[in-house]
Chain A
């Protein structure tokens, strides 16, 4: 009996050990593959955070297409549906040197990674392959966004700015004219007032003119339109408590507090936002092109520029791409893949899923992106008005603080003055 037990135990322990060791081996395949020479097949690990339909396209169509074109490169992709979990995983993997060769990156996290030397600069590669790349096809401010200390790190594949989306059916039914090219904050407010109605007379508003969320991203176009800024250019000091920002946020908060023409969705769950827009609970909403995948086929809509503030049209944009990690063993192959991801063909495929605005002008002005909605050209046009999201390394903390304060202002728990004063102190603390 005792023998039996010991045999059982030993075999369990052994299988456990074997299991462990094989686990560690599979997690670092890179180290086993010698630096590539000629026709040897190289495996690149590639981590992304995209919505499920995009991930599916990557797995079933795009990556197989790439591998067919480049038989010496195999792509091993894995994906996270959740942004927070994704960056958590990437940072942990980088800290333990188990990171992939390429990863998805958006502007919010770019400074953190680049300042930790996690990314490989692509300057040399880009110079060498400039003819093939056609760098002029990328808007200069997009390239600048992914540069640090004069070095370029990423070819921008996609970007987004928030513009006004409106429900054309509601406008038609109520006989309200569509937003004009050069509409101002006042025009915007008037339109929103007209659109706000209590349909069945029960004292509850059934249709709001606009929809607001507690998000920095949705408030920023107003701040920039008034000539305000969140912080200084070197991210050392808060500039949020200025008369310009105050004017902007007062206007924004008054939409809910004073005029009651905007539906306030606290917490900013995007799913609620789309429901409210599709169901006609809110007739206008500020969102990026990346969101229209949730609307297509469910409603009729068109887009307009953000209304003009005291200092012109304000806008804010974020940007995304795929970065080569500095510790990759296959920079040449990784560069080939990055080039392919930023190629016209791939950006066309990506954009056709209803995702973000492509980084390449030639793709953004191609017929398939201009097909719907009617004024789709506004999406790319907005790049001339939009300011790059101000992203210091501690951006997530800045954003969380701002979102919470904005929520309190919408609720009337704090005046705009009090909120901004608090934020100024908080921002300075965080930026220190």
Chain B
């Protein structure tokens, strides 16, 4: 035992010595590493860390930019709890997410499976489906605004062929959220599809061959091979989609301005109006932190649950 530990100590000693011998060069390398990292580290500090700390501090004060900030403790959060508009907005955000995430993921998975069949022109289709991601949200929302227009919009024109008088997609509070959901799904399926496609291409072909020999049908192959084999990317897409849909803003800003009524007001839109239209920076910051906590909790739950269904190869 003693001899053994002495031996070990010796080894450690040698290792330490080696380390010391290397260290001058190593230190220099570390220095260079930090130098190279500096631009992005500075950026990270300036644009992420400092504003985050700032908004945390702001969530405990009342500030309109013009007068001196006033400390109110948890006052902002208390008024949030009483704010009935905020309750509506939370509901809207959840409704938006509950519809956008599963439908969007199902469609993008379907497209990915179809594109993975190795048909001719796959590249072209892949590009076409990815285009909405690249198009600026502002630009495409203008086009969607025209599509959704009540009297001369494309959608209602198409519906008129079937004898349906279409609603005011963006101008009635029953349909406005649906319209925003449709546009958001269209906007993001490309991104999710590319991730699914990459994962699908990584599934070994021999698994399918083996299953075919066992007489598996197409559905069985998807259910028992494809889905488990790509579950890690499904998990990634899910997390991204949740964060994305809780942070949705552009579509509402351009399509509906949160209206009619409060029908398409969502969390980030509420942060924006409170901070930059009403200049209630403290209140807006407290909404931002509520949003952060919501996303954090959902993501933590996801991380726990993933053990049950996500397989890593």
Of the candidates B35, B260, B276, which one forms a contact with A266 in the assembled complex, judged by CB atoms under 8 Å apart?
B260
How many A residues, CB 8 Å from partner? 34
Which residues of the other chain, A, contact B171 by a CB distance below 8 angstroms? 264-267
Measured CB to CB, the closest approach of chain A to B211, in angstroms, equals 53
CB distance from B164 to the nearest CB of A (A): 14
In-complex Cβ contact of B261 among A85, A91, A94, A413 (8 A): A413
Q: Give the residues from 91 to 121 in chain A that come closer than 8 angstroms, CB to CB, to chain B.
A: 91-92, 94-95, 112-113, 115-116, 118
Contacts of B67 in A (CB 8 A): 115-116
The digit string for B276-308, where 1 denotes a CB below 8 A from any CB of A, is: 111110000000000000000000000000000
**B256 interface residue (CB < 8 Å to A):** yes
CB–CB B260/A397 < 8 A? no
A400, B256: Cβ atoms closer than 8 Å: no
Interface size (B, Cβ < 8 Å)?
26
B164-207 CB contact bits vs A (8 Å, 1 = yes)? 00001011110000000000000000000000000000000000
**Contacts A84-B276, A400-B278; A267 near B66 (Cβ below 8 A):** no
Q: Hey, which chain B residues are within 8 Å of A91, CB to CB?
A: 64-66, 279
- Name, among B66, B256, B276, B279, the residue most crowded by chain A CB atoms within 10 Å (CB to CB): B66
Tell me the complex Cα distance, A116–B67, Å.
Answer: 6
Would you call B66 and A116 a contact (CB within 8 A)? yes
Residue contact A94 to B256, C-beta cutoff 8 Å: no
Chain B binding surface, main DSSP class: loop
Question: Do B65 and A118 have beta carbons less than 8 Å apart?
Answer: no
In the bound complex, residues from chain B placing their C-beta under 8 Å from that of A113 are 66
Our pick among A92, A115, A204, A214 for the contact of B65 (Cβ within 8 Å) is A92
Shortest C-beta distance, B139 to chain A (Å), equals 16
Report whether B173 and A95 are in contact in the complex, using a CB–CB cutoff of 8 Å: no
Evaluate whether A408 and B276 lie within 8 angstroms (CB atoms) in the complex, with A91-B66, A95-B66 already known.
Answer: no
Task: Say if the beta carbon of B56 comes within 8 Å of chain A.
Answer: no
A-chain residues with CB within 8 Å of residue B35 when the two chains form the complex: 9
In the complex, whether B262 has a CB less than 8 A from a CB of chain A is yes
- Count: A-B pairs, CB below 8 Å: 74
Q: Are B277 and A407 in contact (CB under 8 A)?
A: no
Q: Is A170 an interface residue (CB 8 A)?
A: no
A396 and B260 in contact, given A408-B173, A411-B172, A413-B173 (Cβ under 8 angstroms): no
- Closest CB-CB distance, B251 to chain A, in whole Å? 14
- For the complex, give the distance between the alpha carbons of A396 and B32 in Å: 51
Contacting residue for A112 out of B64, B257, B261, CB 8 A: B64
Given known A266-B171, A411-B172, A411-B173, contact A112–B66 (CB-CB < 8 A): yes
- B259 partner, pick from A9, A92, A267, beta carbons under 8 A: A267
When distances are taken between beta carbons in the complex, the residues of chain A under 8 Å from B276 are 84-85, 88
Interfacial residues of chain A within 232-253, with CB under 8 A of chain B in the complex = none
Check B260–A112 contact: CB distance below 8 A: no
Find chain A residues with CB under 8 A from B262 CB. Answer: 404
**Is A55 part of the contact surface with B, judged by Cβ < 8 Å?**
no
List chain B residues, Cβ under 8 A from A413. 173, 261
- Asked if A411 and B260 sit within 8 Å, CB to CB, the answer is yes
Q: How far is the CA of A116 from the CA of B260 in the complex (A)?
A: 34
A408 touching B66 in the complex, CB below 8 Å, given contacts A5-B32, A84-B276, A413-B173: no
| Interface residue? A394 (CB, 8 A) | yes
Question: Which B249-271 residues sit within 8 Å CB-CB of chain A?
Answer: 256-257, 259-262
Q: How far is the CA of A397 from the CA of B284 in the complex (A)?
A: 13
- B273 contacts the other chain (Cβ, under 8 Å)? yes
CA distance A87 to B275 in the complex (A): 12
Additional A-B contacts beyond A94-B65, A113-B66 (11; CB < 8 A): A84-B277, A112-B66, A112-B279, A116-B67, A214-B260, A267-B256, A393-B64, A404-B259, A407-B261, A411-B173, A411-B261
List, sorted by A's number, 28 A–B pairs whose CB atoms are closer than 8 Å. Answer: A84-B277, A91-B66, A95-B65, A95-B66, A113-B66, A115-B66, A116-B66, A116-B67, A118-B66, A204-B151, A264-B171, A266-B170, A266-B260, A267-B170, A267-B257, A267-B260, A393-B64, A394-B278, A397-B277, A397-B280, A403-B259, A404-B260, A405-B261, A407-B173, A407-B259, A407-B260, A413-B173, A413-B261
Chain B interface residues toward A at CB < 8 A: 32, 35-36, 38, 64-67, 151, 168, 170-173, 256-257, 259-262, 273, 276-280
